[in-house]
Structure 1
Amino acid sequence: EQVDAYKITCYDPSDTQKLHRLFEKFGRCYEFDIPYVRRFLIDSGVRVFSTIEYEELDDTFIEIKQCIDEISRLNMLSFDIETYNPAGVPRPKVDPAVMISYADGTRAGVITYGASHNAHVIKVQDEKEMIERFCGLVREKDADVLFGYNSSDFDLPYLRDRAHALRASLALGRDNTGFTLRRQAFFSSASVQGRLHIDVFHMIRFLATIGALKTNTYTLGEVYREVFGDTKKQVNKMDIWKMWNVNEERERLIEYSMDDAYTTHRLGAKFLPIFVELARIASTTVEDAVSSTTGQLVDYVLLKEAHARNIIAPNRPRESELLSREDEPIEGAYVKVPTPGIYKDIIVFDFRSLYPSIIVAHNISPETLNCSDCTKEEAYVSPDGTRFCSKRRGIIPEVLSRILKHRSALKKQLKSLDKDSEEYAYAYARQYAFKILANTFYGMLRNVRARWYCRECAAATTAWERFYIKDVISKAEKEGFTVLYADTDSLFIELGRKTEKEALSFVDKINKSLPEGMELELEDYYTRGIFVSKKSDSVGAKKKYALLSRSGSIKIRGFELVRRDWSQIAGDTQRRVLETILKDGSLDKALQIVNSVVQDLRDKKVPKEKLVIYTLLRKGLDEYKSISPEVSAALKARKRGKEVDEGMMIGYIITEKGKGISDKAELEEFVEEGDYDADYYINNQVLPAVESILGELGYGSDLLKAGKKQQGLGDWL
């Protein structure tokens, strides 16, 4: 609707909130909560990592003429510190930093005051000189980007405290200042004046949250192995102070520290282009893109579009609005659960970007909802009866449409580029950024805290999803196909006597009947697949299956091996059992694997790193009402002097010492090799992990322990 409104511009950003409180007495204020930097980027059209052409007169800025995106060549420097820690957890007031490692993409080195024969060491007299020499190195390298791993919460604050204690200068910025620290929900974000400080840990957290990385923990070594398939040097961090005191061990510590800097640089350089593109699209800074959620980034994109359209953006909900929104849940996506078992010749089809394409095809947006511009016959009417305008393009479908078109064009461009070229890396990062944003719009519509929340829009989107997936299932069954499983946007079809050609012909007919922009496409062909039942139920489980593709790769969803709240020994055993059944079709080999692992556990042959169970502390330790194993382990660690806070990922082991399971739990770093409760890992980890698979072949946990067989794999195939 058209409104009369006053636009108020402040010369000092801090006056915005003061004026908001003043004018709220006379009417509702809008867009008062947009930070100054983001407001400037939205209003001016300036984008990060771009060349700006502007007009000036007599050295006075007039206006920006254009902003051209470019692939910028940056001086990137990573760093890592090692600290003396005789008490376990380093104490910045008394425990010195003993070395600072660095890497610039071509070489790595270490600055330290400890004796060393390593040719990559820069030797200094003491800790104070080490800190100041590192700052000098940052200036010498003219670093545009500083990468660290957990550097906002550890390395930089520790260096600041040590510099203060030593009266040293921590001049990291281009203006010779230090850094500023901004505290957020579960972490801090550090900024260095004139340089881009990127905490790679925050990058990894972002990518893991959206499912782009499948890692059990966020440790540097685990992430590096997941991303590059390679391992990095490791040491026992509790022994760093001991290593520092012994010449040979100090040399190993230097190599480990340099490897930390190298792996941090490699990870940062790989993922930085994605966040640069996200920042450009969302009109925000790269540091903000790294520390934001996907929902916040979409909010920024829509704020930019609203400004371009002269639309006043809605406010975030007040507390009273939140409560009413939370009382209005919507019906979710349709799922056809599978019949548990093992199947052959499975073909899987996916709707390409289903929710985004539904929103675009049916013009779903808050301002097109139940509009007066078109009749019911002219409007898009969802299966739940909600109407959307067919004449006036909504802000959300307009933005989404552009995002989808840009991504499609970039994916086509990738096919013509050398995969090892900079152009390929840049284009891949851009299309991946578009993918991240496109897949967030639906979640934003149903997020009760979102500025652009619209229950009717979200409900209509899922109503159309249920309509399309059910329609395809019905048509497939009429054509003689067996639909094993369907979930949201995916369809799993058992070919049986049908051919692959007939299945592809069926999909072609479906696509001709879909609205423009919607498409059902082949995901892959699988020679064998396993679907399991729910725990303590004969009904098939959602999102829990394993498939062997024609190329020999295995796709696994929902099993313990891809969850961090199970130990590695459980996940590894489950993977090996799945691979054996899928690839070899051998039940006997699968049982031998289980028996061998059980025996190794009893013989105390399993290394402790395979027994660690990871979990995220979502609350402060004092807020937990019951003492679960992870809380018990964390409380014991805190008594030993280790800092354990809300938002931390911790890893614990169930040891032999103690009465109950919680009493036996200890953080991994305090556990000696061989000190684990074998019965716990057999009965609560390994057997439950494989029972869901072998149970479909007639093996329950009792039969597994006894080694008895009810029926073979041949009974299923």
Structure 2
Amino acid sequence: MKFRGWLLDVDYVVENGKPIIRMWCVDDSGKSAVIFDDSFEPYFYVVPYGDVPISVLENMSEEVGGETVRPVRVDIVDRKNFGVPIKCYRVFTKLPRDVPYLRELALKFGDVREADILFGVRYIIDRRLIPMGGIEAEGEPVSVDYAGLGMLCHNPKAFAREDEPPLKVMAFDCEMWNPRGMPDAAEDPIIIISIKTNREEKVLTATDEDDKGLIKEFIRYIRDYDPDVIVGYNQDSFDWPYINERAKKHKIKLSVCRDGSTPMFGRGGLQKKVKLVGRLNIDLFQAAQRDMDGVKVKTLENVADYLGVMNKEKRTYIPGGEIYRYWADSKRRDILIRYSKDDVESTYGIAGELLPLQFEFARMAHEPADNVSRMGRGRQVEAYLAYVAYEYGELIPSKGGEVETYVGGFVFPPVKGIHRNVAALDFSAMYPSIMIAYNISPDTVCKDCKDDCYPPAPEVGHCFKKAPEGFFTRILRSLVAHRAALKKKLAQTDRKDKSYRMLDIRQKTIKILTNAFYGYTGWAQAKWYRRECAEATSAWGRYFIKRASEIAQSMGMEVLYGDTDSLFVKLKDGGDLHAATGEFIRKVKEELPLDMDVDNFYRVIFFTEAKKRYAGLTSKGEIVVRGLEVRRGDWCELAKELQSQVIRIILEEEDPEKAVKFVKDTISEVREGKVQLDKLVIHKTLTKGFESYESVQAHVKAAERARELELSAAVGSKISYVIVKGPGITLGDRAYPVDMFIKFENGKLYAKDKAYELDVDYYIDKQIIPTALRILGYFGYTEDELKGRGVQGTLAQFF
């Protein structure tokens, strides 16, 4: 019996006291399959302290639950420790669960390595498999009732595939009964579960009595449709735990896993994580938090709007606190259903945009896609390193280092004001290129710089051996070459070709991981932590950007701003900027071991006095904004939209007076109560417990009030609040969670038992005016002018 298809996930079960690997797959037609391997054994390594006899490890034992846990066997193997050949012990155990117990015993005799690798991931590494990649297997058929095909195989083979797997994807979204604001799973039923799949959209609704039938129908739908991937938006922290609690209340087994088991609930840092056996459960909110820099406040609505999935202006809007009222009102229930449909359509659309990147991360890091979707960038790098380390015979280090700070990139302060005809230039892959050029790797650090080392890094003095090529250097060189080949192929591919997007995602994935290597070496939690690598890389980076600036100035250019790996330049005496830039890049490449490219040409650009804060109009007519308040999350939407419009008017129309009029008109609309409430809400993350804040900030006070009202206010969540009029010394005294209000009309906010008045002066003085002046202040306008008094400026005086 033969199988050819796609590998989705790997886990294991224990049968008759023996671990059995399960590879969850789909074939080329989309039919589910599970491939078993009962020949793989758990193990870990021990690097002994001195001359430790093998018998010492062989005789380790621990009593656990009435059973004796001991090694199955121990052998001696050749490995490398930071590039140095060594001999170490490999300790095999009967079950994966035995590893933690024997690891603790082995710590007395040596440095324990790789005991924390999950058994399924260990199998992927050792068998050289590729999650979301091709898999071939040959073996005996096995009867299973939870997959279309079962097979026993001891030697599955991975192979690269250029096509995409025929996956069944299911998105879901829940609405809950919430008469007290934030629903409570112990009391409040689920009223709607909206579902969207490759084939249909479906809305499941509760009866007026309870949600028992709804939950059963949801389970039945998953069992019938049998999705390979289930996505939601924040479902790990909210929807799944809520459904689980409601199922427990009704004594329903939440058998939504492929083998009929129930979800496994865990936690990674502040984020919860839910594992569904045989299916990939991917929380798109967690993926968006890591991979989408363009959206600060990553609500479902904002992300869907940013990605072009669903325009915010076109979606059905219902205030969160009003959901139960719409459900109870038969005339408005259809609006609530439409609202729920918009949510699940948005979720499914976001999945279409974000899943390909998660799948490519899975292929690169060699971990299942649901795992990598939750990983920080450092952990993704580490997963990739672990896979490559096995190939090189390199042991994974046991732990990272201590938290130490080091100097980062160099910054040329911006020449504030407005400039015309400016070129923005970037060093391509600066840090990976530096690491390759000077063989910077944890295993090549020289304690004393000698003739066989590269020159010491400027300022810090660290140097690295010229040979052999370092572990990191070999990896980076391979990744850079692979990306270059992909980019070359991409340039020859028509954008309309369906392969274009996948090639682009693959080269971007490599770029993300290679750029993360430098930061990884200086991350204290990294297993391959080596501060010298991070310090030397950034030191060379500072040296090269300073030298590039000197070259630019010698060619009659003015450096307007520079940061880490980028420079903004213009010709002092005019001339052909394109030609001058080309010559500058040629000279830089001749002298420095780096590539430089043009990022953009700007017709007009203005810099503030702070780094990473500028806005410009490119030669192609696109507006680029970096670091201004318009991109920050602790300003209300109205302030951000206003600043965007001010920037557009200044750059495109070069009419500051028109921009001022727009600000004045907006102020009038706020005073007259004509602005929608959602434009005035401020969102800020509660990063720690209430007691940990030295001063009571506005969002903290709003969170405390939310908790008193049994609304959501968990650490790590976004607190959404508004500022109202009233007594109090601090702003927090007037900060209230927006979910407590059921209506907003003519500047009045109505809660269940009281009416509040919006503090329009706060929004004008502390939100609108500051964001507008961040731009208009450079043209001589003042707060008085924006409020109808003062002297206006002119655009010409700022060039």
Structure-1-length-normalised TM-score:
0.91
For 1:119, the equivalent position in structure 2 comes to none
For 1:223, the equivalent position in structure 2 comes to 303
Question: Are the equivalent residues in 2 in contact too, given 1:105–1:265 (CA < 8 A)?
Answer: no
Question: Are the equivalent residues in 1 in contact too, given 2:416–2:608 (CA < 8 A)?
Answer: yes
Q: 1:36 to 1:169 in 2, by over 3 A?
A: closer
The CA distance in 2 between the partners of 1:502 and 1:712, in whole Å, is 31
Structure 2 letter corresponding to 1:266? G
SS at match of 1:181: strand
Do residues 480 (structure 1) and 561 (structure 2) align?
no
> How many residue pairs are counted as aligned between the two chains?
687
The CA distance in 1 between the partners of 2:788 and 2:325, in whole Å, is 48
Question: Are the equivalent residues in 2 in contact too, given 1:621–1:645 (CA < 8 A)?
Answer: no
Match of 1:623 among 683, 689, 692: 692
For 2:259, the equivalent position in structure 1 comes to 175
The CA distance in 1 between the partners of 2:793 and 2:169, in whole Å, is 60
| Higher alpha-carbon deviation: 425-434 or 292-301 | 425-434
Q: 1:601 to 1:66 in 2, by over 3 A?
A: closer
- Tell me the CA shift for residue 65 of structure 1: 4.1
Q: 1:276 to 1:266 in 2, by over 3 A?
A: same
| Aligned pairs (5 A) from 1:567-606 | 567-606=636-675
For 2:781, the equivalent position in structure 1 comes to 699
The CA distance in 2 between the partners of 1:287 and 1:66, in whole Å, is 19
Do residues 78 (structure 1) and 161 (structure 2) align?
no
For 1:254, the equivalent position in structure 2 comes to 337
Query: Deviation string for 1:510-559 (max 9, x for gaps)?
Result: 223332xx2110111101111112xxxxxxx1111111111111111111
What RMSD over aligned residues (CA atoms) do the two structures have, in Å? 2.2
For 1:118, the equivalent position in structure 2 comes to none
Match of 1:641 among 671, 690, 710: 710
| Aligned pairs (5 A) from 1:307-326 | 307-317=390-400, 322=402, 325-326=403-404
The CA distance in 2 between the partners of 1:699 and 1:262, in whole Å, is 45
Structure-2-length-normalised TM-score:
0.82
Query: Which blocks of at least 5 consecutive residues in structure 1 are unaligned?
Result: 116-124, 534-540
The CA distance in 2 between the partners of 1:62 and 1:107, in whole Å, is 39
- Tell me the CA shift for residue 710 of structure 1: 6.4
For 2:586, the equivalent position in structure 1 comes to 508
For 1:404, the equivalent position in structure 2 comes to 480
The CA distance in 2 between the partners of 1:580 and 1:647, in whole Å, is 37
Q: 1:129 to 1:469 in 2, by over 3 A?
A: same
The CA distance in 2 between the partners of 1:664 and 1:378, in whole Å, is 63
- Tell me the CA shift for residue 114 of structure 1: 5.2
Structure 2 letter corresponding to 1:112? T
The CA distance in 2 between the partners of 1:113 and 1:702, in whole Å, is 56
The CA distance in 2 between the partners of 1:343 and 1:633, in whole Å, is 43
The CA distance in 2 between the partners of 1:601 and 1:182, in whole Å, is 45
The CA distance in 2 between the partners of 1:301 and 1:494, in whole Å, is 41
Structure 1 letter corresponding to 2:352? A
Do residues 140 (structure 1) and 229 (structure 2) align?
no
Question: Are the equivalent residues in 1 in contact too, given 2:427–2:566 (CA < 8 A)?
Answer: yes
- Tell me the CA shift for residue 55 of structure 1: 5.7
- Tell me the CA shift for residue 201 of structure 1: 1.4
- Tell me the CA shift for residue 509 of structure 1: 2.4
Q: 1:532 to 1:67 in 2, by over 3 A?
A: same
| Aligned pairs (5 A) from 1:253-292 | 253-292=336-375
Question: Are the equivalent residues in 1 in contact too, given 2:432–2:518 (CA < 8 A)?
Answer: yes
SS at match of 1:659: coil
For 1:22, the equivalent position in structure 2 comes to 105
Q: 1:692 to 1:260 in 2, by over 3 A?
A: closer
Question: Are the equivalent residues in 2 in contact too, given 1:144–1:195 (CA < 8 A)?
Answer: yes
Question: Are the equivalent residues in 2 in contact too, given 1:347–1:495 (CA < 8 A)?
Answer: no
Q: 1:354 to 1:192 in 2, by over 3 A?
A: same
The CA distance in 2 between the partners of 1:81 and 1:692, in whole Å, is 41
Question: Are the equivalent residues in 2 in contact too, given 1:30–1:313 (CA < 8 A)?
Answer: yes
Structure 2 letter corresponding to 1:694? L
| Aligned pairs (5 A) from 1:252-401 | 252-317=335-400, 322=402, 325-326=403-404, 329-370=405-446, 375-376=450-451, 379-384=454-459, 385-401=461-477
Query: Which blocks of at least 5 consecutive residues in structure 2 are unaligned?
Result: 1-83, 142-150, 748-756
- Tell me the CA shift for residue 56 of structure 1: 5.0
- Tell me the CA shift for residue 32 of structure 1: 2.1
SS at match of 2:556: coil
- Tell me the CA shift for residue 147 of structure 1: 1.2
Do residues 90 (structure 1) and 183 (structure 2) align?
yes
Question: Are the equivalent residues in 2 in contact too, given 1:45–1:67 (CA < 8 A)?
Answer: no
Match of 2:575 among 495, 498, 503: 498
- Tell me the CA shift for residue 461 of structure 1: 0.6
Query: Deviation string for 1:147-173 (max 9, x for gaps)?
Result: 112211222222222222223343212
SS at match of 2:481: helix
Q: 1:313 to 1:113 in 2, by over 3 A?
A: closer
Question: Are the equivalent residues in 1 in contact too, given 2:168–2:198 (CA < 8 A)?
Answer: no
- Tell me the CA shift for residue 228 of structure 1: 1.1
The CA distance in 2 between the partners of 1:669 and 1:609, in whole Å, is 11
- Tell me the CA shift for residue 42 of structure 1: 1.4
The CA distance in 2 between the partners of 1:273 and 1:649, in whole Å, is 27
Question: Are the equivalent residues in 2 in contact too, given 1:273–1:430 (CA < 8 A)?
Answer: no
Query: Deviation string for 1:164-185 (max 9, x for gaps)?
Result: 2223343212222221111221
Do residues 161 (structure 1) and 245 (structure 2) align?
yes
| Higher alpha-carbon deviation: 305-314 or 383-392 | 383-392
Structure 2 letter corresponding to 1:53? E
Higher helix share: 1
- Tell me the CA shift for residue 707 of structure 1: 3.2
Do residues 684 (structure 1) and 760 (structure 2) align?
no
Question: Are the equivalent residues in 1 in contact too, given 2:307–2:353 (CA < 8 A)?
Answer: no
The CA distance in 2 between the partners of 1:402 and 1:73, in whole Å, is 30
Question: Are the equivalent residues in 1 in contact too, given 2:452–2:466 (CA < 8 A)?
Answer: no
Question: Are the equivalent residues in 2 in contact too, given 1:371–1:389 (CA < 8 A)?
Answer: no
- Tell me the CA shift for residue 363 of structure 1: 1.3
Question: Are the equivalent residues in 1 in contact too, given 2:559–2:570 (CA < 8 A)?
Answer: yes
The CA distance in 2 between the partners of 1:463 and 1:216, in whole Å, is 31
Question: Are the equivalent residues in 2 in contact too, given 1:548–1:582 (CA < 8 A)?
Answer: yes
Structure 2 letter corresponding to 1:304? Y
For 2:285, the equivalent position in structure 1 comes to 201
- Tell me the CA shift for residue 704 of structure 1: 4.2
Do residues 708 (structure 1) and 768 (structure 2) align?
no
| Higher alpha-carbon deviation: 696-705 or 463-472 | 696-705
Question: Are the equivalent residues in 1 in contact too, given 2:419–2:605 (CA < 8 A)?
Answer: yes
Percent of pairs with identical residues: 32
| Higher alpha-carbon deviation: 214-223 or 46-55 | 46-55
Question: Are the equivalent residues in 1 in contact too, given 2:231–2:351 (CA < 8 A)?
Answer: yes
For 1:651, the equivalent position in structure 2 comes to 720
Question: Are the equivalent residues in 1 in contact too, given 2:389–2:395 (CA < 8 A)?
Answer: yes
Query: Deviation string for 1:24-53 (max 9, x for gaps)?
Result: 112222222222222222122111123323
- Tell me the CA shift for residue 349 of structure 1: 0.7
The CA distance in 2 between the partners of 1:60 and 1:239, in whole Å, is 54
- Tell me the CA shift for residue 355 of structure 1: 1.0
For 1:6, the equivalent position in structure 2 comes to 89
- Tell me the CA shift for residue 561 of structure 1: 0.5
| Higher alpha-carbon deviation: 78-87 or 694-703 | 694-703
The CA distance in 2 between the partners of 1:234 and 1:428, in whole Å, is 35
For 2:18, the equivalent position in structure 1 comes to none
Do residues 110 (structure 1) and 193 (structure 2) align?
no
Q: 1:376 to 1:553 in 2, by over 3 A?
A: same
The CA distance in 2 between the partners of 1:706 and 1:127, in whole Å, is 57
Query: Deviation string for 1:579-624 (max 9, x for gaps)?
Result: 1111111121122122222222222222221111111111122333
SS at match of 1:14: helix
| Higher alpha-carbon deviation: 693-702 or 1-10 | 693-702
- Tell me the CA shift for residue 270 of structure 1: 2.0
SS at match of 1:100: strand
